Amino acid sequence: MEEVDKILIHALRQSGTDVAEDIQSVKQFTSELIVEAVVRCVRVINPALGGGLSPSLPPGMSARFRVGMGLAQACQDLGYKGEIGYQTFLYSNEPEIRSLLMFLVEKLPRESAEASDQPAGKSVVLQRAIAAKIKAQLALPWLPPNCRLPLLCKTQSAGPSLSFRAQPLSLPYSTKSTGKAASKELRAYQREVLLPVTAQPSHQGAVVASLLEQHASELSAAQEWDSEWNSQGLLSRLTPEEYRSRKMTRLHKRIEEQLRSATSEPSPESSSGVPGSSSDLAQLLLSFQGSAPGDHLLPKGTHFTHTQKFTFTQDPGVLVEQMAAVASSMPLGGQSEGEVQASQQAELASLEEQLQQVALRIDRLTDHMKQMNLTVAQVTNELKDRELGNQEKEDTMQVKKQTVDLLPDAENNLAKLQMLVEASAKRVVSLAAQWEKHRAPLIDEHRRLKELCTNQDMESSRQLSEIKDLHEKIRESAEKAKKKETFYKQLISELENLPKDVSRSAYTLRILEIVGNIKKQKEEITKILSDTKELQKEINNLTGKLDRTFAVTDELVFKDAKKDESVRKSYKYLAALHENCNQLIQTIEDTGTILREIRDLEEQIETESGNKTVANLERILEDNKAIRAENLALASKVREG
């Protein structure tokens, strides 16, 4: 009971009741304390219900009675099943109060307890930490920069608001550079000229940002390559280099197609103009760069810019020549400015005209050149065809010439020819036989190799799938490990945050002790039970034996009793003995039940005496007297009023 009382008092203190230090058990609770505790509990459980109750007992008896009635009603509203009335509070008895308080404490809302019991989410922990930190920082006064302690500098200076701006870095061990061995010049540059990475960005704040950015970009590139290689590269069964080159050619093709399709549309319109589709392409590229400023245009030598240069380089050359001509023909001064200006204007006009003419001529010439080029190509083709025809004709002429040479000695030559034909036929047959001989093993070999190849194919695909599975597994287990790690960390942080409540461990210890005690008691009870059973059995045995012995003896003695007088007497004694013994047993059993009843009664007396009945009765009498006095006073007041 002491433990229960301690827990109850602890809970009541938490709910706001002012329980004095020296009160250790419910037995010591006064009526005032009980009323206060109950009211506080009710207020915590149901604020609306407890709002109308005052936590202190008024001095007037009838008011006290009313408070008691109200409290009892409130407790019943909360769902208390036991007997309760004003007497529970005013004339307390220990067990009732204990059960009531236990009921109320169990009803107390547990949200605070639950919040700390359940594993709080990560976000909750974080938010709490943030709130605590901000509260601490807000509590600090703001100080001008010169007065700050180093601790404050961290939170109050503008340092954390630095923006994150990355700048490109040059690193010798970068994955961006290809795996080729570094050239001599490169190594010399890295050794002598290249600054350390911390000195490369223009201002100090960008070092970390640049490093992080560099690392992130390299990491993401590596990861992308990894995933692509695992998903597609492995399936293609190529080495990484082959895969890369294949992908590059594919992309090149695609880009070319795109460009071609983009340029094919406008080309019909401009086919009449001077610039061909190639310069269109150049324009397209220029439009890609859009309105980018001049200094961002690349002098990069694509095919298109080359052609652009070819088509347009004549103009400046011509222009320069003309300019020179104009300069030489310029009069060397001596004329008035107006004249000079007029002449310059005229010059300008004529020059522009010339320029236009030249441009027109160039246009025409280019057209002409194109046509010429076309005709040249046609003519070359024709020439090739003719040459081929010539070759054929020459061949046939050779054959015919030989036949004509052979004609004079026709028969001989015919025989010779036949012989030759036969010999070659024979040779062909023998060659075929030889070929057959060679072919068979070769075909066998080929088949064997094919089979081997398919086997290897299957094997490799099997291994591939295995590798894939393994990759998947590796990823999964890594994820799992990560999850568990974070969970573990979270739990550890929670453990650290938990209040180091001593009573908790004490409670657990105590609970364990109690459980041990209960176990022991149970064992003892079972032992006693088994003892009782054994005794019962023995008693039954003995009674049976007794009955049988008595029956046998009775029979024997009864037989002889007809003949002999003394035996008859002994039979009478035997019967009396049996009767008396039965009575004795009966008496013993009765004594046992009476003893048990006595014990019950004693217990009842104890509980009744625990209820402080006498004291309560006295108090009731006194209160009765007080009420009567109050009534009298009120009545006299009424009469006076």
Binding site residues, other proteins, CB under 8 A: 127, 130-131, 134, 163-168, 170, 176-178, 183, 185-186, 188-190, 193, 200-202, 247, 251, 254, 288-293, 296, 298-301
Q: Which lies closer to other proteins via its Cβ, residue 311 or residue 553?
A: 311
Q: Which lies closer to other proteins via its Cβ, residue 217 or residue 521?
A: 217
Residue 127 structure tokens: 């938010």
Residue 596 structure tokens: 């048990």
Round to whole Å and give the CA distance between 97 and 28: 11
Q: Which lies closer to other proteins via its Cβ, residue 223 or residue 424?
A: 223
Smallest separation (angstroms) from other proteins to the CB of 202 = 5
Taking a C-beta distance cutoff of 8 angstroms, is the pair 213, 166 a contact? yes
Residues 6+ apart with CB under 8 A from 22: none
Round to whole Å and give the CA distance between 132 and 4: 36
Q: Which lies closer to other proteins via its Cβ, residue 251 or residue 374?
A: 251
Q: Is 27 exposed, middle or buried (0-12, 13-18, 19+ CB in 10 A)?
A: middle
Smallest separation (angstroms) from other proteins to the CB of 120 = 15
Q: Which lies closer to other proteins via its Cβ, residue 191 or residue 563?
A: 191
Q: Is 68 exposed, middle or buried (0-12, 13-18, 19+ CB in 10 A)?
A: buried
Closest listed residue to residue 554, CA positions, set 572, 539, 540: 572
Q: Which lies closer to other proteins via its Cβ, residue 251 or residue 529?
A: 251
Smallest separation (angstroms) from other proteins to the CB of 259 = 12
Smallest separation (angstroms) from other proteins to the CB of 316 = 18
Closest listed residue to residue 413, CA positions, set 422, 403, 398, 399: 403
Smallest separation (angstroms) from other proteins to the CB of 228 = 9
- Please give the angle made by the CA atoms of 247, 169 and 300, to the nearest 5 degrees: 55
Smallest separation (angstroms) from other proteins to the CB of 166 = 6
Q: Which lies closer to other proteins via its Cβ, residue 128 or residue 446?
A: 128
Q: Which lies closer to other proteins via its Cβ, residue 124 or residue 620?
A: 124
Residue 155 structure tokens: 């939170």
Residue 49 structure tokens: 């219900």
Smallest separation (angstroms) from other proteins to the CB of 491 = 23
Smallest separation (angstroms) from other proteins to the CB of 199 = 10
Residues 6+ apart with CB under 8 A from 144: none
For residue 574, the one-letter residue type is L
Residues 6+ apart with CB under 8 A from 319: 355
Smallest separation (angstroms) from other proteins to the CB of 169 = 8
Q: Which lies closer to other proteins via its Cβ, residue 200 or residue 322?
A: 200
Closest listed residue to residue 488, CA positions, set 113, 114, 115, 122: 122
Q: Which lies closer to other proteins via its Cβ, residue 254 or residue 628?
A: 254
| Letter string b/e over residues 92-104, b meaning 16 or more CB atoms within 10 A of that residue's CB | bbbebbbbbbebb
Smallest separation (angstroms) from other proteins to the CB of 141 = 20
- Please give the angle made by the CA atoms of 63, 13 and 500, to the nearest 5 degrees: 170
Taking a C-beta distance cutoff of 8 angstroms, is the pair 118, 89 a contact? no
Round to whole Å and give the CA distance between 299 and 289: 13
Smallest separation (angstroms) from other proteins to the CB of 112 = 17
Smallest separation (angstroms) from other proteins to the CB of 75 = 35
Following DSSP, what letter does each residue of 241-287 receive, concatenated?
A: HHHHHHHHHHHHHHHHHHHHHHHHTTHHHHTSSSS-HHHHHHHHHHH
Closest listed residue to residue 101, CA positions, set 26, 44, 49: 26
Smallest separation (angstroms) from other proteins to the CB of 209 = 8
Smallest separation (angstroms) from other proteins to the CB of 515 = 43
Q: Which lies closer to other proteins via its Cβ, residue 251 or residue 324?
A: 251
Taking a C-beta distance cutoff of 8 angstroms, is the pair 378, 371 a contact? no
Q: Which lies closer to other proteins via its Cβ, residue 247 or residue 568?
A: 247
Q: Which lies closer to other proteins via its Cβ, residue 194 or residue 318?
A: 194
CA distances, 555 to each of 107, 147, 560, 592, 606 (Å): 74, 122, 9, 34, 55
Round to whole Å and give the CA distance between 225 and 218: 11
Residues 6+ apart with CB under 8 A from 125: 490, 493, 494, 497
Q: Which lies closer to other proteins via its Cβ, residue 122 or residue 247?
A: 247
